[in-house]
Amino acid sequence: MRISSPLLRSGLTAAAAAALPVALAAAPAAAGPGISVSTTGTTVSVTTTACAQLNGSWGTASLLSGSQRDFAQGRQVALSGSASGQSAAWSGIAPGTYTVIVMCSNNSTAGTQTVIVSAAPSPSPSPSPSRSATPSASASPRGVMGGLGGAVQDYGTPTLVAGGALVGAGVIAGAWFLRRRSKPYRF
């Protein structure tokens, strides 16, 4: 005679269901209205869909260095684009941490985000066949900066591994539950 425990099964199902949102939260979420900032080498760019054109202007974006605290102190660039999206870019930016603020033409803030500009790797001679190529200890890791407003997180390898482990545990628990459920009950 087999005695099944619905409480055990429902507990495993709840654990699998709880693991999925936690794992999904580990990945950067797609932002709604706000801004998206990215770097390529020494160029910083920002895009948004939050601004509307007013008097022929979409608004202005400002790039602030670590010592600057006010929108007016930063390097300002006018937004360009269309109703489906606006953008601005700064080139020749020195390595460091910067804050990007986008102000729409109606004086509302579309968003604020911090970005890290990494030093460009110095060119090195190609290794000879007798030497092995190993990564430099001074090379900085490139992560993905995510977040809305002032909340910024760097989602690196440990976060992605933890999220993957939670998703894997949820998939295994779900498969186990469905497999057990498909077997006929024997009393």
Q: Are residues 95 and 60 in the same domain?
A: yes
pLDDT, residue 102, reads 92
52: domain CATH number is: 2.60.40
In a domain, residue 137? The reply is no
Q: Are residues 78 and 112 in the same domain?
A: yes
List helix spans (H) across the chain: 6-26, 157-182
User: Is the confidence at residue 20, as pLDDT, over 50?
Assistant: no
pTM of the model: 0.48
Structure tokens at 28: 């950067």
Using the structure block, give the residue that is written with the tokens 């080498």. Answer: 41
Q: Are residues 115 and 45 in the same domain?
A: yes
Give 66's pLDDT tier (boundaries 50, 70, 90).
confident
DSSP symbol at 38: E
Q: Are residues 99 and 112 in the same domain?
A: yes
In a domain, residue 95? The reply is yes
Q: What is the pLDDT of residues 85-96, one digit of tens each?
A: 899 999 888 888
d(CA 36, CA 61) in angstroms, rounded, equals 12
**Domain total in the chain:** 2
Neighbours of 163 (CB within 10 A): 18
In a domain, residue 85? The reply is yes
Range(s) of the domain holding residue 97: 31-119+145-151
Q: Which of 105 and 143 is assigned the larger pLDDT?
A: 105
Residue type, 181: R
Q: Are residues 54 and 100 in the same domain?
A: yes
Q: Are residues 66 and 113 in the same domain?
A: yes
Q: Are residues 85 and 5 in the same domain?
A: no
Which residues touch 177 (CB under 8 Å, ≥6 apart)? Answer: 9, 12, 13, 16
In a domain, residue 175? The reply is yes
Q: Are residues 66 and 11 in the same domain?
A: no
Q: Are residues 14 and 57 in the same domain?
A: no
